[in-house]
Structure 1
Amino acid sequence: MVFVAPKFTADQATEILCHVWAAARGMRKRFLAIMSTLMANNCFRLLDHKPRINFSNFFIVALDDSTACVRYNFTMAQLHRVSIQLQLPQDDLRTPEGDVVSSVEALAMVCRRLTEPSKLFTVADEFGHSTAAYSRICKTAIAILYAKHATLLYFVRATVLKRLDDYCAAVARHSARANPKSGFENLQRSVYSGHSRRHCLNWQAITAPDGLIVSVYGPVEGRRHDTTMLSMSGLLEYMQKEGSFEGKVIYGDPTYV
């Protein structure tokens, strides 16, 4: 077994050096010998320098549509419209720690974080915020969205009922089976542990034939089977209470179900 000491800050390293110098009784050769031994055995290591955020970067309100779509999956005009529809604060969004940004920028930061699996430093640097501030702003924006629209995340009832017949007809046109289907249980996302090669977190979602995600549930521990997760979500019981879903079927991914 190899012992590896934690990395020290500059203040901690200075204190250790003073103790070693005192232990060496001011003898330079003895001091250097002790330090060489400590470093060779990974007992004296300094923290790496933190990467520097370019705080001259900022959120570009007039960003061209093609670039905005790549970064946020929305144009700037669409971001403004979506922020209003999602009932984000009309003026600025403030975090409990005092960070202040416009609601459109906060929404853009959330969208940017979800667009691709980038490092937090990368996306924070694009907006000219520290990684801590970026996380706080995203967390606050998501908390507001969840508080206002949690029921829609669980199941978009009004939209599904309005389009239910169209969904069933669309599936019937592309399926040889007679049962009317209205959705597809899919979109499972997992966080993997490279060491154990097992799921850490699972999500469940239902995707309608037009591509709209009409239900999201999770996260659930990765050791749970998909059928267990479906039972935990209570989705089947929810749909059984709605008469419009009588005789309808949801596709499940044959790989997991």
Structure 2
Amino acid sequence: MAKVTDRVRVVSAPDILNIIEALDIPEFITTPSKYRFDAVEAFCLTLARFRSAGDLSDLCRIYHRSQSAISEIVNFVTLYIDNKWKHLLDFDHTHLLHPENLAQYAAAIHQAGAPINSVWSFLDCTIRRMCRPSHYQRQAYNGHKKYHALKFQALMLPNGIIGHLDGPYEGRRNDNHLLRESGLLEKCAQYAIKPGTCDSTPVEKRYFQMYGDAAYGISPYLVSPFYGEKSREEQEWNNTMGAVRVEVEHGFGLVAKLWPFLNAGWKMQLYSSPVGSYYRTGVLLTNAFSCLHPNQTSLAFDCQPPTLHEYFHEPE
């Protein structure tokens, strides 16, 4: 992972300008307190904040802007990116998650060693620590991790892109609650249909499938490891899928590695900062950099991500 992270650290100025253009950042921004920034300064300050878990005072000394100015522009850019591009993290069935692309993802995963050729993505949830909120503390408390948190549901594609992100949800919620509330299975039923199939095709052959852990169970759109007492063949199947999934876990960890600010739970104050938008924007920025520089997951599956301008498109 160091190689991937290092590439992003030395991303070139033209890359930054390309991302600003793809994100459609306004040329000039005036914050509520009348601080004025151009697009390059606003975006680069946001990147600097996301790259640091330190205090804003550190950025003030480096970039010669006040704490309030940096805080306001970072929140402005964060909310702007989240609101404008959040449709890309839903179920982008016309582009990134078009059935023809799902077929390519399934072929790449099968080629990498998966024992079946219908799995197109890997489903998981992530828990993001935050400060103890002033309200609804019990709902936010995650008993397993023993801290207050928000949860997100994500799908990792073999091209290194996070193709779906839903949340945030209260930290106490389990993974199956997130799956139900997200409506992801219903979207798969509508869009994850194998080309060339029809209503008369047996249901087990009609759909592409996600792969999740054993807690998710099995459906026409989702497969998971064999659970409980297993035969030798079932254990071998689990081991094979587990080996394939390892590379995907690197992809989920890339967001945390690139943006240390998102790991600073002591800075995530639910009712005074856009905590959920911070993480969603971090995922979108990670996807942007992965489009420019294919990450470890993409290289392991030999599956190329879309170009920057293919990924960032307006909703249809």
**In the alignment, does 2:207 pair up with 1:247?**
yes
Mapped pair 1:88 → 2:25: yes
Structure 1 residues 143, 190: CA separation in 2 closer, same or farther (over 3 Å shift)?
closer
Partner residue of 2:103? 165
Shifted more, 225-234 versus 104-113: the winner is 104-113
Q: Which residue of 107, 117, 120 corresponds with 2:56?
A: 120
Displacement of 1:154 in angstroms is 1.9
1:143 to 79, 82, 86: 79
Partner amino acid for 2:31? T
In 2, distance between residues paired with 1:107 and 1:155?
26
- 2:127 maps to 1:178: no
For residue 68 of structure 2, what is the aligned residue in structure 1? 132
Amino acid at match of 1:198: Y
Of 191-200 and 152-161, more deviation after overlay is shown by 191-200
For the pair shown, the structure with the greater C-alpha radius of gyration is: 1
In 1: Cα distance, 2:84 partner to 2:124 partner: 25
Partner Cα distance (1:256, 1:126) in 2: 47
For structure 2, the 5+ residue unaligned runs are 133-140, 195-205, 218-316
Please state whether the residue corresponding to 2:158 is helix, strand or coil. Answer: coil
Aligned residue type for 1:183: S
Distance 1:114 1:231, change over 3 A: farther
Higher relative contact order (CA 8 A, sep 6+): 2
After superposition, the Cα gap between the structure-2 partners of 1:255 and 1:230, relative to the gap in structure 1 and judged at 3 Å, is closer
Is contact 1:68-1:76 (8 Å) kept?
no
SS of structure 1 residue aligned to 2:211: strand
Question: Kindly tell me: are residues 230 and 122 of structure 1, through their superposed partners in 2, closer, same or farther at Cα, counting changes over 3 Å?
Answer: farther
* Shift in alpha-carbon separation, 1:81–1:248, aligned structure 2, 3 A: same
Report what 1:216 is aligned to: 165
Q: Determine helix, strand or coil for the equivalent of 1:241.
A: helix
Aligned to 2:12: 75
CA distance, structure 1, for counterparts of residue 125 and residue 55 of structure 2: 23
- Aligned to 1:105, what secondary structure does the other structure show? helix
Cα distance change, pair 117–256 in 1 and its aligned pair in 2 (3 A)? farther
Aligned to 2:88: 152
Q: Deviations over 1:119-166 (max 9, x none)?
A: 333334432222222121011112222332121122333122252222
Contact 2:131/2:148, CA 8 A, preserved across alignment? yes
